């Protein structure tokens, strides 16, 4: 599944964590603050919730009802 930030940066999550998904790109997880954030714009407004972070694996859950607004193109 592809997750997109408001800035347009994308990452993928893989099913397999019961419950939830595995985050494929570790750059989206800030281990110091224990939060998920976009590595490009540093936004934390993602439709993901952290379940567990241990070692190299980060388990996340997609938040139902939380949507990312579309980036409008004025071209």
Instruction: Please write the tens of the pLDDT for every residue from 2-49.
Output: 888 888 888 888 888 688 899 988 899 998 899 999 999 998 888 888
Question: Are 43 and 37 contacting, i.e. CB atoms less than 8 angstroms apart?
Answer: yes
CA dist 69 to 11, 28, 72, 73, Å? 17, 19, 9, 12
Higher pLDDT, 60 or 68: 60
For the chain, give every domain's residue range. Answer: 2-62
The reported pLDDT for the residue numbered 66 is 55
């Amino acid at each position: 599944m592809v997750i997109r930030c408001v800035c347009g940066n994308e990452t993928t999550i893989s099913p397999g964590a019961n419950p939830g998904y595995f985050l494929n790109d570790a750059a989206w997880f800030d281990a110091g603050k224990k939060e998920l954030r976009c590595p490009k714009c540093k936004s934390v407004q993602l439709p993901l919730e952290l379940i567990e972070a241990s070692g190299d694996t980060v388990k996340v859950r997609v938040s139902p009802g939380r949507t990312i607004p579309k980036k409008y193109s004025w071209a």
